[in-house]
Structures are given as C-alpha cells and as structure tokens.
Amino acid sequence: MCNQYNGYSNYPTWNVGLWIDNEKYSQSYWREAAEEANSISQLADRLKDEMEEQSPTVDSADMYTDLLGWALQSVDWYELAEGYWKEYHREEE
C-alpha cells in the first residue's frame, strides 16, 4: 500500500508542511533557519525539536494526544527540511 499524500511521503508530513507554508511568519522563520543551518540534517533536527516542543502532547495523556504523538513521530522531518534547504539555496544562486 502506498502512503504518499499530495507529493509527500505521508499525510502527517504534508500537513506540517502545509501549515508552515500557509503562515507567512512560519514560512519566513523556516527560510531563515535554512540559511542558518549547516546541513539538511541539522535543519531537520531543529524542525522536529521545535515542533515537538509546541505540541500539547507533552503535558497530557489521553487517546487524542496519543494519536497526535503518533502523527508527529510519522512526520518525515528530513523531507521537509530538504525542501526548505533547496528553496533557500536556489534563491542564493
């Protein structure tokens, strides 16, 4: 079974990318983060860490936070970071 969704590896990855790209502040923030990062992996780690810190799953335990936690664990952070990295470095040329 193929889990791809709208050109992304899965629905959770697409959804995080959608929300980042739909908000001007977050778009700018992650473009600047791509500029500051030394590698795609470093940017992916930062994306994951910051998004998980904002998650309400940190302080609660119930069915909904378990599902949200699963979705966050399913996000391909490297895939998202690679997109921002390529976008920034393309603009640089």
- Which among 38, 41, 21 has a CA at the least distance from the CA of 29? 21
Residue 50 maps to a domain:
yes
Residue 20 maps to a domain:
no
The tens digit of pLDDT for each residue in 7-19 reads: 999 999 999 999 9
d(CA 5, CA 34): 24
Residue 60 maps to a domain:
yes
Residue 7 maps to a domain:
no
How high does pLDDT run on average in the chain? 90
Q: Is 23 helix (H, G, I), strand (E, B) or coil?
A: coil
pLDDT beyond 60 at 24: yes
Residue 75: phi and psi, rounded to 5, are: -65, 135
pLDDT beyond 70 at 92: no
Domain span at 82: 28-92
Sign of CA dihedral 87, 55, 77, 16: negative
- 1 falls in which pLDDT band (50, 70, 90)? very low
* Number of folded domains that form the chain: 1
Q: What Cα–Cα distance (Å) separates residue 50 from each residue in 7, 26, 29, 53?
A: 24, 12, 12, 5
Residue 84 maps to a domain:
yes
Residue 46 maps to a domain:
yes
The tens digit of pLDDT for each residue in 51-60 reads: 988 887 667 7
